[in-house]
Amino acid sequence: MRAPQRPPAMNAPPPQPPRRPVRSFVLRAGRMGSGQERALHELGPRFVLPFSPAVLDYRATFGRQAPVVLEIGFGMGQATAAIAQQMPGTDFIGVEVHPPGVGALLRRIDELGLTNVRIVQHDAVEVLAQMIAPRSLSGIHVFFPDPWPKKRHHKRRLLQSAFVGALAQRLAPGGTLHCATDWQPYAEQMLAVLTAEPLLANTAAGYAPRPAYRPLTKFEARGVALGHGVWDLVFARRAA
């Protein structure tokens, strides 16, 4: 005699809790300085765009039609503000999850009287997927992304093939993806991943010279003085 079959429900695997995505950041409980907090309160409504699962209308956001550059992980925003000041004809969207960094960039926007910067305080992976239209950006900046040096953390690195593919799709033809790092193994990974992306073409033979618009950060200048390297990579979206 055959053994009675178990009802299907008993064979089904137990329900699993939803898997947390692997993120490229860990939110630190950093303290906001009082100036940063005031900047967030007073300037946030004008310059911080809420995360929303709807594609951004750049013309409505900036009140004009201009090339748009997305910066991912702007930290304290020194490079963002300096570049936006140098390029008043271009609009910049900076994405950062670290609240003190958002406050610091707002202060800089105010000090320099910048009108061409907006901030989204949210995970850039979701911002890119939900808010940025395909073929809409003239540039993407990813400066010194967290290197996640330990092998077990490599999965947290931002610049991996799926995300680079998504970045490339958001560039307009001819638009450039500019990455920089001071961590050589990550530089090598970036070079391999960007070279393998069919939508992108390297603008240099390997690593690129630092484009003049990217300011040398204090931290970087110190590293260079100690003989540490910095690697820039500038890839352009192919026309097709």
The set of catalytic residues is 146
Q: Convert residues 209-238 into a mask of x (bound to ligand SAM by CB under 6 A) and - (unbound).
A: --------x---------------------
Residue 110 in contact with ligand SAM, rule: CB under 6 A: no
Residue 128 in contact with ligand SAM, rule: CB under 6 A: no
Rg (C-alpha) for the chain, rounded Å, is 21
Token duo for residue 211: 């484009």
Binding window for ligand SAM (CB under 6 A); candidates: 39-47, 142-150, 198-206, 231-239: 142-150
The site that binds ligand SAM (CB under 6 A) totals a number of residues, namely 21
Q: State the Cα–Cα distance between residues 193 and 15, nearest whole angstrom.
A: 36
Output the smallest distance, CB 73 to ligand SAM, in A: 2
Residue 96 in contact with ligand SAM, rule: CB under 6 A: yes
Q: State the Cα–Cα distance between residues 108 and 106, nearest whole angstrom.
A: 5
Residue 145 in contact with ligand SAM, rule: CB under 6 A: yes
Residue 124 in contact with ligand SAM, rule: CB under 6 A: yes
Question: What is the H or E stretch that residue 117 is in?
Answer: strand 117-120
Residue 175 in contact with ligand SAM, rule: CB under 6 A: no
Q: State the Cα–Cα distance between residues 201 and 100, nearest whole angstrom.
A: 36
Listed in sequence order, the residues at least 6 apart from 200 whose beta carbon sits closer than 8 Å to its beta carbon are 164, 168, 177, 194, 235, 236, 237, 238
Give me the residues that bind ligand SAM (CB under 6 A), please. Answer: 24-25, 72-75, 79, 95-98, 101, 123-125, 143-146, 158, 217
